[in-house]
Amino acid sequence: MQYASTRGHAAAQNFSEILLGGLAPDGGLYLPTSYPQVSGAELDAWRGLSYAGLAFEVLKKFATDIPAEDLRAIVEKTYTADVYRNARLGEDAAQITPLRVLEDKDGRKLILQALSNGPTLAFKDMAMQLLGNLFEYALAKKQAELNIFGATSGDTGSAAEYAMRGKKGIRVFMLSPHKKMSAFQTAQMFSLQDPNIFNIAVEGVFDDCQDMVKAVSNDLAYKERQKIGTVNSINWARVVAQVVYYFRGYLSATTSNAQKVSFTVPSGNFGNICAGHIARMMGLPIDKLVVATNENDVLDEFFRTGVYRVRKSAETWHTTSPSMDISKASNFERFIYDLLDGDAARVKALFGKVETVGGFDLSGQPGSDGDEFKKVARFGFQSGKSVHADRLNTIRQVEKNYGITIDTHTADGIKVALEHIETGVPMIVLETALPAKFNETIREALGRDAERPAGFENIEALPQRFEVMTADVEKMKAYIAANTGL
């Protein structure tokens, strides 16, 4: 299996080559030159597999350059009941992403698929845990080292640290805005004592952290010398790892391949639902893929109108589902490439317009950039939006009707799912975090604290290990160099 850039850069690469990189040299994103197909017979054979067994079958189709026995060992180490131990009462941790039927009456079936039972209680663990093991494997093969440098306002940074802690050949330098994360998020990251994890609390806001990451990344000589890499949401291996749970959800919710299911996905950077799109392109019988956004509705706007209009920082709201507070969906280019039938020159032109004029228009209206919006339905996409009042209401209703506490992002998903659910087609909502992570809003909605999984009870009281630093790029560079010894 070979990979090429959405903007046409010709050099085909294999899975291992793109694993450690980010964007393609032309600024595009990597995609396989064709999607591997899954036959009905294969799907049948996969019904009885464990999560790790299924992950092996799916990943094998994409990572053709990794020897099968190595790949199997990697997935078996990753998807264990011990790693995904935060399953809630009534869930079986061994299923890794257990399903819970919330409602099944009058042909209407609403199902929650738990993706947030991993170490940091959010769905990012599903892919990041695999990435940690893949990185360790690839680096050992090349006898190489990697220093991951990133900025976080919460979920991604902690998922990366928990995936990379103790891994040979890898260090993580993670910037976060000093005293701006929730006490829970701060404790989760800063209580790690592993010598290969470096938490740097920057005196500033998240944008200051991100600016420092950009400044360091733009110094190519430094980046090369210090072997700096990233693990952001465009990483292809992260997307592929997420494809697996769409197969798991489908196979667990159906008994025959003649049945279809729909998925609703709380979305921000379009990484999670992009994996659903790929599963559908591989032949998984998915009916609808419903994009759920919060007040930051860039994606909902596109799927309603065909206009993609990225937001400026001042128009990006801080909401109570903060992991979806994005102004620009970094994986969206992968879908647009498919929507345009792989016309890389047009993809390049359209995303060039995103940089220069802030968006493009495929509505087919006079003066627009094309009329491909009319083809969106063929890919199963629909969308909807949920705001703070909806979240509170949904959290209360789900608690009352089904006796389960959901987090704010999942609440956005359920609100939108209920607007799109159809008789006879099970609707699976992806649960992207556990409520303990966003306790402030649970208190507001329910007047009590969210329950915490075992082991997290006193996390704020654990000793913390971090460095406070001013937003000074030179100081940052010196700090990394001193700790890598490179």
Retrieve residue 442's tokens: 């649970």
Total number of residues binding ligand PLP (CB under 6 A)? 17
Q: Are 268 and 300 in contact (CB under 8 A)?
A: no
Instruction: Give, as one character, the DSSP assignment of residue 116.
Output: -
Q: Which stretch binds ligand PLP (CB under 6 A): 73-81, 269-277, 380-388, 395-403?
A: 269-277
Instruction: Give min distance, CB of 104 to ligand PLP, in A.
Output: 25
Among 270, 308, 332, 337, the residue binding ligand PLP under the rule CB under 6 A is 270
Q: Which of 28, 132, 157, 266 lies at the binding interface for ligand PLP (CB under 6 A)?
A: 266
Distance of CA 486 to the CA centre of its chain: 32
Q: Is 348 in the site for ligand PLP (CB under 6 A)?
A: no
Catalytic residue among 60, 109, 124, 437: 124
Paired residues of 470 in beta bridges: 203
Strand partners, 146: 170
Per-residue CA distances from 355 to 21, 89, 311, 371 (Å): 22, 47, 12, 21
Q: How many CB atoms lie within 10 A of CB 56?
A: 20
Phi and psi based region of residue 306 (left: phi greater than 0; alpha: psi -120 to 50; beta: remaining): left
For 176, the 3-state DSSP assignment is strand
In the bound complex, what is the minimum distance in angstroms from residue 115's beta carbon to ligand PLP?
9
Residue 323 binds ligand PLP (CB under 6 A):
yes
As a whole number of angstroms, the distance between CA 484 and CA 241 comes to: 29
List the x/- string, 374-413, binding to ligand PLP by CB under 6 A. -----------------------------------x----
User: What would the x/- binding string for ligand PLP be over residues 224 to 243, using CB under 6 A?
Assistant: ---------x----------
**Residue 219: which residues within 8 A CB-CB, separation 6 or more?**
477
Q: Which of 124, 277, 280, 391 binds ligand PLP (CB under 6 A)?
A: 124
Alpha-carbon gap, residue 444 to 432, rounded angstroms: 20
Distance CA 318, CA 312 (A): 13
Q: How far apart are CA 91 and CA 445, in angstroms?
A: 24
- Amino acid occupying residue 245: Y
Identity of the residue, 49 or 354, whose beta carbon is nearer to ligand PLP in the bound complex:
354
Q: Rule CB under 6 A: is residue 269 a binding residue for ligand PLP?
A: yes
* Nearest CB to ligand PLP, comparing residues 122 and 471: 122
Whether 77 is catalytic: no
| Per-residue mark of binding to ligand PLP, 413-452 (x: CB under 6 A) | -------------------xx-------------------
Complex with ligand PLP: residue 15 or 335, whichever CB lies closer: 335
Active-site residues: which are they? 124
Q: Which residues form the interface with ligand PLP (CB under 6 A)?
A: 122-124, 155, 233, 266-272, 323-324, 409, 432-433
